[in-house]
Amino acid sequence: MPATNLTFKNLQDRVLSFGYGETARTNVKEWINMAYSDVMSRRRWSWSQDTQTVVTVAGTPTVTLASLTDPPLFWGRLYPTTSNLREPTYLDPMRYNDGLTRQSPSLTRGIPEYYTIFDQTVTFYPTPNGVYTFTLYYWKGAAEMVNDADQPLIPAQWRNVLVYGALRFAAERDRNDNSLARRTAEYEKNIAHMIGAENLLQAETGLRVEMPEYYYGRYDR
């Protein structure tokens, strides 16, 4: 059976076909979601990148991000879409709080030069003195699959990797060293194929995954 449009239920059934009874379905669901989370965290995949518009309010230092169905795994660049606006510099929350907040950012207004992101909130310094629009790039994480019809973000042709991953976690649970070694090798081989295909796609199409400024402008290659 091809991997096209494999649903959560399809993936469960494939794992169960490797000798697990129906009573193992609850465990199988957990193993698939564990594999899903692992695959999504392995790389900033081009197909997991998305954007959200961020619009400042004059006199307000923070912007609350819209609710996301798939949790953000990595934050990317905050790119200005307002003309003649420079890209602000990212500071991690600790540096932002230890440094800029000592300068009372709420009392200073101007064009945003720095920003940080914490708990779904973007905080700017200085406090914006007007309405500015940005595009925030981010990479989606794995929202836990619950319903049988749920589908992973992973492209259809690669979804079988979750079957191999679930079998690997099953072998770990069973403390079967021989099976664990074999299943781990299968799982890692499939992930390596995914990464190879991703690199080839970027090389052939000129596709670049936008990296945040705090990665010094490098691309994920």
94 and 174 share a domain? no
34 and 85 share a domain? no
26 and 58 share a domain? no
132 and 190 share a domain? no
In a domain, 158, yes or no: yes
Whole-model pTM over 0.75: yes
Peptide bond into 126 cis (omega under 30): yes
In a domain, 214, yes or no: no
In a domain, 114, yes or no: yes
In a domain, 14, yes or no: yes
In a domain, 96, yes or no: yes
In angstroms, the Cα distances linking 36 to 84, 162, 175 are 41, 6, 21
Tell me which of 121, 140, 159 is where a domain ends: 140
Residue-level pLDDT at 218: 41
Residue-level pLDDT at 4: 60
Tell me which of 117, 140, 163 is where a domain ends: 140
In a domain, 220, yes or no: no
Residue-level pLDDT at 102: 59
85 and 128 share a domain? yes
Residue-level pLDDT at 124: 93
Tell me which of 140, 158, 183 is where a domain ends: 140
112 and 162 share a domain? no
In a domain, 2, yes or no: no
Residue-level pLDDT at 206: 52
What is the residue range of 135's domain?
48-140
The domain total for the chain is 2
Residue-level pLDDT at 215: 42
Residue-level pLDDT at 11: 97
54 and 41 share a domain? no
Residue 14, C-beta contacts closer than 8 angstroms, at least 6 positions apart = 1, 6, 160, 163
56 and 41 share a domain? no
Parts of the chain with a pLDDT under 50? 1-2, 212-221
pLDDT tens for residues 91-144?
887 766 656 655 555 557 899 999 999 888 999 999 999 999 999 999 998 899
91 and 198 share a domain? no
In a domain, 199, yes or no: yes
Helices (H) and strands (E) in the chain, counts: 5, 9
**Strand runs labelled E in the chain:** 49-55, 62-64, 72-80, 89-90, 109-110, 114-118, 121-125, 127-128, 133-140
177 and 159 share a domain? yes
Residue-level pLDDT at 204: 58
127 and 80 share a domain? yes
Q: Which residue has the tokens 């390596």?
A: 192
